[in-house]
Structure 1
Amino acid sequence: MPRLFHRPPKYCLHKGTMQATVSLHGERIYLGPHGSPKSHAEYQKVLLRWQSERDAVQVEEPSKDSVQKELSGITAATLRKKRFAGSPITINELALVFRRHARQYYQKNGKITREATLIDDVIRILRKHHATEFLDDFGPVALDALREKMISDLDWSRKHINKQVGRLVRMFKWAAGKELVDPGVPLSLNSLAGLKKGRCAARESPGVKCVDDSIVELTLPNLPGIVADMVRLQRLTGTRPGEVCSLRPCDVDRSGDVWVYTPSEHKTEHHEKERVIAIGPKAQVLLEPYLERRANSFCFSPAESEERRRAKAAAARTTPLSCGNRRGTNRRKTPKRTPRDRYFTDSYRRAIHRACDKLKIEKSAPNRLRHTSATQVRREFGIEAAQVVCGHESAEVTQIYAERDLELAKKVARAVG
């Protein structure tokens, strides 16, 4: 039974001697004749002693700094020494060092990418069910059981589960490269076949579908002017949402009849690929007003959009200037959030979703505009033209082939816009 540190010792009667007694830390103390004032006075002294000893005993909890210091001492090198010394490594220890590696490796422009957060998700369920198991004991059967937990507990889709399992296998492959686990472990895990459509209990995720142009035209009047132009530009050029958000005047070559936009950052830049986007006449007319600014500033800015909104509200004001609030006097001096100098994919998507909510229609992601554009190009110019416009080159594409693709993209841009 647990020791009752917070319950005071009882005043008891010893029947053999008719003495008052109290038991403190296993020691019996006689207080005098039971019920006498002397015994009660002695009992109060014992209570004071018990209380002082109880207050003196404090459970020391490790501080946050000491915990962080201890965790920082766990690295791939220390785990390798531990393994070579004959002590097996647990999944918990590998998850700690690999998560730290992932958050350093998967960064772009100083920010942690989506890949690192997805790794966190799969590590979380791995630790929930296999935290204390040894790396060498984790095989395809355990991975298959964990995959079933992803279906029953988390309701992940089949494609997402296959990708998450691939991330786990890469974690063990990374561990084998650091000599933290036998190389045969990731090979055995890789032997587990992926989930097949219609052959498992995992749900199917709906694919990214095109958005009808009538829905786009319905949404545009309910968007801020700058966001509406971003939607129009993406629809004409088939760019990714991130490529629209990061557009700058210095990235656009306007020397020819078809402008060429070379994004400074794009999805496949870590594969050492160059992304070129052809901008046709219709998109040029749309984009030209946004190029009249500093060369390295972003064309589409939430701060500029907010200024336009406030100017429009001031122009629509009906209250005389002599009455009511003066412009700018009812704003917070230090707001929690201020408009930034550029849009990101999240803020771009939220602006579109707000317009969809206002119209009470299905929310459309910006990437659906890219699919709509690619579908039109494929229908009118063929599959190769769609691959060129969307930037879907393989790693083996030669420089000559890339030049031919750029000319084909220019031809498409001249016709489409």
Structure 2
Amino acid sequence: MNIQRQQVRSVQSPDNFVMNVPAHHPSYLGFDYVELWVGNAKQAASFYKTRLGFSLFAYRGLETGSRTWTSYALRQGEVTLIVSSALPPDNDTFNAHLARHGDAVRDIAFRVTECESTYDRAMAAGAVSVHPPQEYVGTHGGIVIATIKTVGDTNHTFVERSGNGTTFLPGFVTINDPDPLDRILASVGGRSLDHIGLNIPEGDLGSLVEWYERVLGFHRFFSIDDSIVHTEFSGLRSVVMADSSERIKIPLIEPASGFRKGQVEEFLEYHGGSGAQHFAVLTDDILASSQALRERGVSTLKVPSGYYPRLREFLRVRDIKLQEDIELLAQYDIMVDFDKNGYLLQMFTKPITDRPTAFFEFLQRRNFEGFGANNFRAIFEAIEQEQERRGNLH
């Protein structure tokens, strides 16, 4: 099957970062779920519920007839995570993944209109198959799923759903058992996945961008390089890939040489190569989300001193009004970026595992579609403060 390459037109964003707009490419409806392979799925699920405010809604394990996997499916708004562990001790694929990467993302799944045609297009364009389309029909609808490999040990699964949508995935049973802590703790309020960042070694960016264009029909949504994003210690280059509807956005990030060890190199070292580093969750009220996370005991990244005085001066000179109180933004370490249309509010958790390899970003968009590029230096400096504490800034 021949892949039809989509025509794109380049436009210039306000801060000279390249963005692209696709002509058209059907099929993708958004993120479906993200699956992490972890050492103890039950305990990981408890962490995501109590600390990050997710709710358990589906399960598979010995009690449901699964003899090989135990998995907990959790949801917050439209954000769906699965944490899975292998049950038999001789699952070599799982054991190798866990030993190399620690608790880490295995699969980033996309909701599609037609699984088979999406898979066929990808295979014709050179994708490596994990498993071809498989159809499962239940009393509440059908599911067709297929999986291909992407960078490192990460996969992409295509999920086509029909019927009333109450069936999650084959082998899972629905769980309706509210956590008692939900009556005590405030909702975090995450609404949907905005993007998922993939870190890769230096030199791999160009080929991976081409892979997402050729195999998945994605286009370049946004790009930035180390001439803009760098500190004394680190720099990066990034291209954000998006589907035609721009419901799926995946920043591809490589380190830039000529600096000391930065946060991307730290990730690659402790993750054992390429993989997903951060999950960006949209919220309608970042102040409420930040307060809820703090009350749940989530450690967040401390914004460098001097950021908020510079922000106040910027707002004064540009005569920009925020709906939020800067004192509250500073209290919760929330950063702000602007363009001519609006602004972005964003905050970051510290790593959520012992290996410094994964974190969450929570963001609120006020008529702003960029990626907080004007905050990248401050974000790097904040991360480098933590790297220095870990002895990894050298």
Higher percent of residues as helix: 1
TM-score where L is the length of structure 1: 0.23
Task: Flag the structure with larger Rg.
Answer: 1
TM-score where L is the length of structure 2: 0.24
Higher percent of residues as strand: 2
